[in-house]
Amino acid sequence: MHLFAPLELPNGSCLPNRVAKAAMEESLARQPGQLPGPEIEELYRRWARGGSGLIITGNVMVDRRALTSPRTVVLDAGTPLEPFRRWAAAAGSAGGHVWMQINHPGRQVRSDLPGVAWAPSEVAVSLGKHTSAFARPTAMDEADIAATTARFATTARLAEEAGFHGVQIHAAHGYLLSQFLSPLVNRRSDRWGGSLENRARLLIEIVKAVRAQVSESFAVGVKINTADFQRGGFDTDEVAQVLGFLDGLGVDLVELSGGSMESAATMGRTADETMLDREAYFLSLAERLVEVASVPLMLTGGICRRATAERVLERGFAVAGVATALALCPDLPARWQAGEDAHVPPPRLGWKDQDLASAAVLAIVRAHMSRLVRGSRPRPRIPSSFVFALDTLRSRGSVRAYGTWLAANPAPDATSAVQG
């Protein structure tokens, strides 16, 4: 299938081509309110002009008390919608589809952030000497689970009202829904734990709740790990079964990725020492899932060349997801379509502390995005230590601003009415 051929989704909507800008956390939320502002609008205008048929936003939090970082955007009941309308308009200004990725971090929250750190069980993130950087989680009760399900549905409904074409439910990378799927983190003995059917129950209930709140023409996607890449964790055999559970629920596209904070597979390394492909990291592992999936599949992770993206489609995937390369070259898809053999290798750091190196690479990617916001071209070489130190300093200031806002604006009831 041609990379720039249109793709009709199960709900009848049509992507103009099969290159997707996959989610990257922008860390550009404005205070007060954890809102998208002119910086995000400009960034997404650049990506809109870049030629991607589908643009998926960085993760938007469904609960203002639980953030992946202090500069993450929040959309919950009570959030003003006008900033989101401007964001959707900017991202869709060149005719591509725009989906909002919606997420709850669960236990993957920093220990210096106020709010809540929830998980299926009281199993903390384990990162050796960096473990204390993450909050100790509290096991969710039935009320917490019901409220979180409602929050996902509310955020999806508000995203449609704001003009987005769809949402992507984030169930990968070690965040809350991924934690429920993982037998390493989910040690419950009730209906939310134990068997895979029980561990997948929260994801299934959220998909159903979201689909019930949005129109048929509004797309619903799911992002899920090909594997957690931890011994004894969620694996490819279980992914195949979860794809079966999603059958008939109105899901339009499933994106396959991998890893978590504890196993940085999206950086090309794993905790269980699984050998990943040099590009399209998860292709060899994921291609057998094409045979069992009843919905179109998207593969993301390490794609930076047209030939690699085309190989992904040749293996049966419907969409090739590109992430980091678009922070360094926002018009990469347009260049591919024009016949250029353009590619942008992802940044690598040879630091001894690999967990710190992974955090620094993310800071470098955010620095490239900040240059795009200012209308500049990304720099091929960025002083990594300086960028990481500056990113850390800014983050500390954002923690204080977020804490002040949250204290003055406690989380509304999960189902309370929106203020437009």
Contact 87, 53 (CB under 8 A): no
Alpha-carbon span 163 to 86, nearest angstrom = 9
Q: Look at strands 118-119 and 138-139 and give their pairing.
A: parallel
Task: Record the tokens describing residue 404, joined without a space.
Answer: 């002040």
Q: How far is CA 16 from the centre of its chain?
A: 22
Structure tokens at 245: 């559970």
Alpha-carbon 374 to chain mean position: 24
Distance CA 79, CA 33 (A): 8
CB atoms within 10 A of CB 380: 8
Which positions ≥6 away from 214 have C-beta within 8 Å? 156, 157, 160, 167, 220
> What is the pLDDT tens value at each position of the chain, 420 positions in all?
699 999 999 999 999 999 999 999 999 999 999 999 999 999 999 999 999 999 999 999 999 999 999 999 999 998 999 999 999 999 999 999 999 999 999 999 999 999 999 999 999 998 888 889 899 999 999 999 999 999 999 999 999 999 999 999 999 989 999 999 999 999 999 999 999 999 999 999 999 999 999 999 999 999 999 987 788 888 899 999 999 999 999 999 999 988 776 666 565 656 655 656 667 788 888 899 999 999 999 999 889 999 999 999 999 999 999 999 999 999 999 999 999 988 888 777 778 887 787 788 888 888 889 999 998 877 767 788 888 888 888 888 899 999 999 999 999 987 554 444
Q: For each of the domains in the chain, give its residue range(s) and CATH number, in order of start.
A: 7-408 (3.20.20.70)
